[in-house]
Amino acid sequence: MFQVLAADSIKEEGLQPLLEQPDIQLHIGSIDSENIDIQKIDALLVRSATKVTSELLDRMPSLKIVGRAGVGVDNIDIAEATKRGIIVVNAPDGNTISTAEHTFAMMAALMRNIPQAHSTVKKGEWKRNQFIGNELYGKTLGIIGLGRIGSELAKRARAFGMSVKVYDPFLTKERAEILGVQLSTFDEVLAEADIITVHTPLTKETKGLLNERTLSQTKKGVYLLNCARGGIIDEMALAHFIENGHVAGAALDVFEVEPPGDHPLLKLDSVIVTPHLGASTKEAQLNVATQVAREIRTFFDDKPVANSINLPAMSKEIYEKIQPFHQLAKEMGKIVSECHNKGISELTATYSGTAAELETSFLTKALLAGFFENRIDIKVNEVNAIHIAKERGIIVGEKVTGNSYGYANTITITARGDGDVFTARGTFIEHYGPRIVNLDGFTIDFHPSGNLLYIQHMDRPGVIGHVGKVLGDHGVNIATMQVGRKEAGGEAIMVLSFDKPLSDDMIVKLESLQDIVAINSIVL
């Protein structure tokens, strides 16, 4: 039974995909709820209040997936989650419209002094001359970060007769043209906008993007908005520029520390504020809760999630195409690890044909997960596989080749270490399934599943018969047997499959036979 904890007052109606499921027990509460054993939680759903730090992850050893019901993941230590193989998913577009609308409402309210006027009327005053505002029509809106929210805001601003200048280093000219905005440099936005609004994530690059120096490049009388993340506009610099009259006013939905407490900006009349309400609509909360709940259900169904922060995202169509190769790569990783039971310093995956057209980095991670499965005792999956390889000094390489060795596709693994090289090649044949077609340079053909025995031997008369006899004498039935050799009388290999794993005793008996070089058991 999977244990799921939905914290931070996630909208319960949106948790439908996790309710009444025979394999899921859903807890609604917080990480500090006395009646919830967080050690047993497999999936954690949060908004922004719960800080998913490495200390919290230490307390949650069963955790496999964190779902953020919203966009920003700055409350989650992604690097720590990744190291531990924990998938982080978010709901990237469920609150886009709500946040764009909130930003627009804040901009209109700021330009018309609505909150200030409202509070005076409530106090019984009627000061019409004190609240002369500015029209939005004809003004230049500067948008920094034209992603989902920035784009929706741009559409609304244009509908109000504003001209829109945008700074976003990742935006193409074509997209800017489609949205009817002017792609500009950062300096142009600073110098020409009447109102500037930020819609970027909070990153090393965007922290303090608007600071003492850059604010001094803005027009005198500029208005500023931050409905993205506290810290993109330096709060102390903003307070200074409002106090000295350069900035006419600001609308803030977010703060560096929330709640902001006794903050200098809150003392300024021309600053209007909301308590991080951008995504707080019934619609957005239902959307984001439903999106992450669906992702958790998909994850428990062992299918790839669509909006992972630390794994490549995949559509259903791509997943269906990649799934057989994903399985093959993982099995091949295990086969290489078991057949070549030695220290490895380099692993290279080479893809050809239809396999090379897929998201090969995902296949390489699956291959590593398979490779490490029986080598280390921490859980390795596609999330942390690269990190674990790096930690263990294994160089991981990826290549694409035009040579498919006569197949429609191949995956070849080359493992190197201590002067030894071991290779394995597999293919996926439509309507037939996965096959291993080469092992350590020997041409062979077997289905990678079940209980396998990899026997290296000399190509001498009677060897195969002796192996069969020993197994037969002990009542062991051979399900399949494949042999491969490079030249008559030289080194050869056998791959046998059994209905049940072979006992260690049986393996010792086979190892003692003449002309047997080495035996490795592989359970797939």
Ligand X SMILES: NC(=O)c1ccc[n+]([C@@H]2O[C@H](COP(=O)([O-])OP(=O)(O)OC[C@H]3O[C@@H](n4cnc5c(N)ncnc54)[C@H](O)[C@@H]3O)[C@@H](O)[C@H]2O)c1
Binder of residue 294, out of ligand 2HG, ligand X, none (CB less than 5 to 8 A by kind): none
Least distance from ligand 2HG to the Cβ atom of residue 165, Å: 24
Interaction mask 38-57, ligand 2HG, x per CB under 6 A: ---------xx---------
346 belongs to the catalytic site: no
Alpha carbon distance 279, 248 (integer Å): 26
Rule CB under 6 A: choose which of 4, 38, 44, 279 binds ligand 2HG: 279
Interface with ligand 2HG includes 280 (CB under 6 A)?
yes
Active site residue 47: no
Residue nearest to ligand X (CB): 147
Query: Whose structure tokens read 């007769």?
Result: 161
- Is the Cβ of residue 12 or residue 192 nearer to ligand 2HG in the bound state? 12
Strands (E), 294-419: 346-353, 395-401, 409-417
3-state secondary structure at position 370:
helix
Taking residue 419's Cβ as centre, other Cβ atoms within 10 Å add up to 5
Positions touching ligand X (CB under 6 A) are 70-72, 95-96, 99, 144-150, 167-170, 199-202, 205-206, 227-229, 253-254, 276, 278-279
Tokens 């930690």 locate to: 391
47 binds, among ligand X, ligand 2HG, none (CB under 5 to 8 A by kind): ligand 2HG
Q: Which lies closer to ligand 2HG via its Cβ, residue 96 or residue 214?
A: 96
Whether residue 276 lies in the annotated active site: yes
Whole-angstrom CA distances from 377 to 175, 183, 359, 366, 458 are 48, 52, 28, 17, 35
Our finding on whether 147 is near ligand 2HG (CB under 6 A) is no
Residue 353 token pair: 């044909």
- Which of 68, 84, 156, 276 does the annotation list as catalytic? 276
By beta-carbon proximity to ligand 2HG, the closer residue of 72 and 433 is 72
Q: Quick one: which of 45, 153, 159 has its CA closest to 107?
A: 153
How many beta carbons lie within 10 A of that of residue 302, not counting itself? Answer: 6
Provide the 10 A C-beta neighbour count for residue 271.
22
CA distances (Å), origin 165, targets 105, 107, 200, 212: 19, 16, 15, 22
CB 279 to ligand 2HG: min, Å: 4
Residue tagged 């998938």 (tokens): 87
User: Using the rule CB under 6 A, which residue among 6, 52, 60, 71 binds ligand 2HG?
Assistant: 71
User: Pick the catalytic residue: 177, 205, 243, 258?
Assistant: 258
- 249/278 with CB nearer ligand X: 278
Catalytic residues: 229, 258, 276
Site residues (vs ligand 2HG, CB under 6 A)? 47-48, 70-72, 95, 276, 278-280
